[in-house]
């Protein structure tokens, strides 16, 4: 990765932000204020402030995403990843999906990311490892990414985006969430539980002393 390419990509970041400014949908502004009395946070009317926040979060996400690709230092990458995850969590908060946002923080930022850094520090050749990319790897990754980006673009262009939805939140989202998990979505929930159990048994098996 040459310095020139790095500069071009860094220049593209504000461009991408500007692009997302131009194309992002405008949020519907009719949330129910009485919900705030029940302890359910509603957004500030979806006005300019929210739009600004959305673009800021999107910008941080994109910038950190590019930075992950451009950085050669593994721990720095992890920190940029933290930025991406946190900004996405903030976006969830803006969309009134508090629970998902918090879970994003607690599971990815607080758990997985730490394990990631921990693993890097524990197993790499030295804690100060550099991440070198070969040219062939770069080309292969570029092709895959281009295909993926094309697919996403295709979906974005062709899909219909219904701007008007029903009431955003009714009642406590947590109660609905819990009830949903144990009624309509019981089978996937149990399947994930079994998967985690298997993972735990496997980990215990690997960690046990001979």
* Binding residues vs other proteins (CB under 8 A): 33, 36, 38-41, 44-45, 47-49, 73, 75-76, 79, 82, 86, 98-99, 102-103, 105-106, 109-111, 113-115, 117-118, 121-128, 172-175, 206-207, 209
Pick between residue 128 and residue 148 the one whose CB is nearest to other proteins. Answer: 128
Nearer to other proteins, 31 or 58 (CB): 31
Quote the strand ranges of 95-209, DSSP E: none
What gap in Å lies between CA 96 and CA 90, rounded to an integer?
10
Q: Which is nearer to other proteins, 58 or 81 (CB)?
A: 81
| Closest approach of other proteins to the CB of residue 102, in Å | 5
Q: Which is nearer to other proteins, 5 or 49 (CB)?
A: 49
One DSSP character per residue, 20-72 reads: HHHHPPPPP----GGGGGGT----STT-HHHHHHHHHHHHHHHHHHHHHHH--
- Closest CB 75 distance from other proteins, rounded Å: 5
Task: CB nearer to other proteins: give 155 or 207.
Answer: 207
Residue 104 CB partners (closer than 8 Å, separation 6+): 85, 88, 89, 92
| Shortest Cβ 140–other proteins spacing (Å) | 29
Q: Of how many residues is the chain composed?
A: 210
Nearest-approach distance from CB 65 to other proteins, in angstroms: 18
Quote the least distance from Cβ 198 to other proteins, whole Å: 18
State how far the alpha carbon of 195 is from the alpha carbons of 73, 170, 177, 183, in Å: 33, 32, 21, 19
DSSP assignment of 69-80 equals HH--BHHHHHHH
Smallest gap from Cβ 27 to other proteins, in A, equals 13
Based on the number of CB atoms within 10 Å of its own CB, is 22 exposed (0-12), middle (13-18) or buried (19 or more)? Answer: exposed
- Contact between 169 and 96 (Cβ < 8 Å): yes
**Closer residue to other proteins (CB): 122 or 187:** 122
CA atoms of 21 and 4, how far apart (whole Å): 26
């Amino acid at each position: 990765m040459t310095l020139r390419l790095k500069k071009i990509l860094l220049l593209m970041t504000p461009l991408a932000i500007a692009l997302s400014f131009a194309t992002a949908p405008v949020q519907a502004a009719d949330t129910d204020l009485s919900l705030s009395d029940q302890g359910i946070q509603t957004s500030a009317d979806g006005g300019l402030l929210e739009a600004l926040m959305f673009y800021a979060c999107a910008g941080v996400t994109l910038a950190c995403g590019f930075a992950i690709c451009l950085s050669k230092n593994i721990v720095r990458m992890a920190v940029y990843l933290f930025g991406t995850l946190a900004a996405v969590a903030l976006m969830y908060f803006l969309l009134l999906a508090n629970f998902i946002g918090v879970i994003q923080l607690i599971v990815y930022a607080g758990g997985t990311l730490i394990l990631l850094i921990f693993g890097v520090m524990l197993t790499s050749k030295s804690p100060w490892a550099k991440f070198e990319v070969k040219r062939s790897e770069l080309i292969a990754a570029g092709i895959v990414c281009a295909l993926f980006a094309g697919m996403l673009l295709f979906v974005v262009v062709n899909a219909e985006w219904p701007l008007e939805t029903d009431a955003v939140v009714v009642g406590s989202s947590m109660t609905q969430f819990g009830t949903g998990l144990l009624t309509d979505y019981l089978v996937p929930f149990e399947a994930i539980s079994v998967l985690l159990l298997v993972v735990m048994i496997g980990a215990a098996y690997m960690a046990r002393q001979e």
